[in-house]
Amino acid sequence: AALLPRPARGLTDRLYCGRRVCYEVLGVSRQASKAEIARAYRQLARQYHPDRNRGEPASGEGSGAQAAHEKFLLIAAAYETLKDEETRKDYDYMLDHPEEYYRHYYHYYSRRLAPKVDVTIVILVTVCAISVFQFFSWWSSYNEAINYLASVPKYRIQATEIARQQGLLNKTKEKGKNRRSKEEIREEEEEIIKDIIKNKIDIKGGYQKPRIYDILLFQILLAPFYWCKYIVWYCWWIYCFTIKGQEYGVEEKLYIIRRYMKMSQSQFDSLEDHQKETFLERQLWIRENYEVYKQEQEEELKKKMAMDPRWKRYRRWMKNEGPGRLTFIDD
């Protein structure tokens, strides 16, 4: 009697085996091993499989093909519940604590609705796909910038002159079998000019040469290092310029100016050198000077917009027509 399953209260139709106890469905005790549960399931599955009971008439209660099919589904549900250690542990806890109704619902549906694939693998594959797309997209942008610069006469003439000085375009004409067509020679010269442009011109901003450390995957992997580096730098900044009161250097001044302008590092690097020199000459790292400079820029922008004919036409249209006016024409 001690080995028989205890009657459980609080069983519902939507959890596990419904109103039936899964151990009773398989005819095993709560102390049964996984092998005993599997053996009982195989025996009952062979007995109540729909293929073996197909076409049997319903002669009484619990007989017939429909009853055998329902019994088979109940047996399968009981086996699915008891074959897994974690699910069986939750089920045993429900039998012992039927009053914790909502807890049982949560554990049951959280296991049933949980994704079958590891979320970590999904996130890793997604990050890798985004990183690959980033890298090839940046290479495409970089090649577009090189092709554009190779078509600009200013840079093309300079690159051609450098190539001639290095003897890359002054090769002797080939004869015999090694002789190439004019098209092949032209393509080789074009590649030489592009290589010189790549080496001599510093492209910054969105069209700069892509680096593997800038893609999302490496940014995530190196995030702890960057955080530690930032914390060390911030402590050094507080110690040097707040506690000791040292004067700012050029890099520190440019950093403060960039923060005031709310620009990223790549955006600030894309500015011309004479613009940065102007910032330093006007001492824009001082907040008051920067506010004056900002006001001047806003006033200058207003003047440009006032003199722009397109802006004048827009203001004239807004004054006469309006953004959304609806009128009726009286004949």
Q: What residues contact residue 261 under an 8 Å CB cut-off, 6+ apart?
A: 268
Tell me if 203 sits within 8 A of 142, measured CB to CB. Answer: yes
How many of the other CB atoms lie within 10 Å of CB of 11? 18
Q: What residues contact residue 180 under an 8 Å CB cut-off, 6+ apart?
A: 174
Output the pLDDT for position 3.
44
Backbone torsions φ then ψ of 51, nearest 5 degrees:
-65, -30
Longest dimension (CA), the chain: 104
Integer Cα distance of 248 and 259 in angstroms: 15
pLDDT tens-place values along the chain, 331 residues long = 444 444 444 566 678 787 788 898 888 888 888 898 899 988 888 888 877 766 555 444 445 678 888 888 888 888 888 888 888 888 888 888 877 777 877 777 777 776 666 778 888 999 999 999 988 988 888 888 888 888 888 888 888 888 888 777 765 555 556 676 778 778 888 888 888 888 876 666 566 778 888 888 898 999 999 999 999 999 999 999 889 888 999 999 999 999 998 888 877 877 888 888 999 999 999 999 999 999 998 888 888 877 878 777 776 766 665 554 444 455 4
Q: What residues contact residue 200 under an 8 Å CB cut-off, 6+ apart?
A: 158, 159, 162
Q: What residues contact residue 65 under an 8 Å CB cut-off, 6+ apart?
A: 50, 53, 54, 55, 56, 58
Output the pLDDT for position 54.
67
Domain borders along the chain are 22-113, 120-171+181-210, 247-318
CATH code of domain 22-113: 1.10.287.110
Integer Cα distance of 15 and 19 in angstroms: 9
| Rg, Å, the chain Cα set | 39
Exposure class string for 94-123: b at 16+ Cβ within 10 A, else e: bbeeeeeeeebeebbeeeeeeeeeeeeeee
